[in-house]
Amino acid sequence: MDQEAAGRAQDARSVPVCYRHPDRETGIRCTRCERPICPECMVSASVGFQCPECVRTGAGTGRPPAASRPRTVAGGTLTADPRLVTKILIGINLLVYLLQLALGDDFTNRFVLVGHAPFSAYGPLEGVADGQYYRLVTAMFLHGGYVHILFNMLSLWWIGGPLEAALGRARYLALYFTSGLAGSALTYMIAAPNQPSLGASGAIFGLFGATAVLMRRLNYDMRPIIALLVINLIFTFGFSGIAWQAHIGGLVAGVACGYAMVHAPRRRRALVQYGTCALVLAVVVLLTLVRTAQLT
């Protein structure tokens, strides 16, 4: 019995968990105290990562210089609430959906992504091709029903929260909007000009892609995120009425920006990270201008 108990204890120890979050398995340890730490607790150091306690102990009293302040794995600033931006994004999506329910189709038609089409039999042509470029952004906060917004907001909470903690607020927000705009631009470029599109799925697929890159960077088990991506892609291409262009555009942008976020060299970290986001946005602008020229 003692040997069996010892064996179970050894098996339990073979899968380390974060010392601050016992429900999170991790393969990363603090380079100073060797305690297991999850992405939310990782503080970028000159070599590897440190836990918050070691950073505070080594910083001494007073305000540390900017170069030694606690940072996330991507170089962002550690905050008291690492999921604040995710909460705000969920709140905005829910508020906009309530406006959709209260104001009806007129409100949705005014902000949905459409290339070039009338919304009534004798109405004027409207859409991005008619100069309504704001639709590329506003469509990211509209949803087509209870199930649509429920699944998107659950995905945003499950995937976005940990990713925000790992990247930091500014980088996370840049990733979110870059991915969402990439999804909108690809939809505008490929989909029929009279096909409306709406939803946060493009941005959320970008978060999926960046999460996969982060997990590989941290040597995590990739099977869960790959399985989740495969399931979502099956739904994307297996059912009609889903704007697969937004999903693919967001995913590609998320992988590109996510790779830059977690692999950028320390000395030029911000330049590489935000520069990559800027390049993706440049592609978004190019696709938008080309498609507008085609439609007009």
Positions marked catalytic: 201, 247
229-267 b/e with 16+ CB inside 10 Å = b?
Answer: beebbeebeeeeebbbbbbbbbbbbbbbbbbbbbebeee
Token pair for 167: 């990247």
CA–CA separation, 257 and 108 (whole Å): 30
Phi, psi of 199 (to 5 degrees): 125, 160
Q: Which helix (H) or strand (E) is 49 found in, with range?
A: strand 49-50
Specify whether the backbone of 172 is left (phi greater than 0), alpha (psi in -120 to 50) or beta. Answer: alpha
Report the C-alpha gap between 265 and 241 in whole angstroms. 42
Q: In this structure, what are the phi and psi dihedrals at residue 124, rounded to the nearest 5 degrees?
A: -75, 160
Place of tokens 């000395």: 267
Distant-in-sequence, close-in-space partners of 235: CB < 8 Å, separation ≥ 6: 242
* Tokens 């959320």, residue located: 204
The CA distance from 76 to 120, in Å, is 48
Distance between CA atoms of 221 and 241, rounded to whole angstroms?
Answer: 33
In angstroms, the CA 234 to CA 83 distance is 29
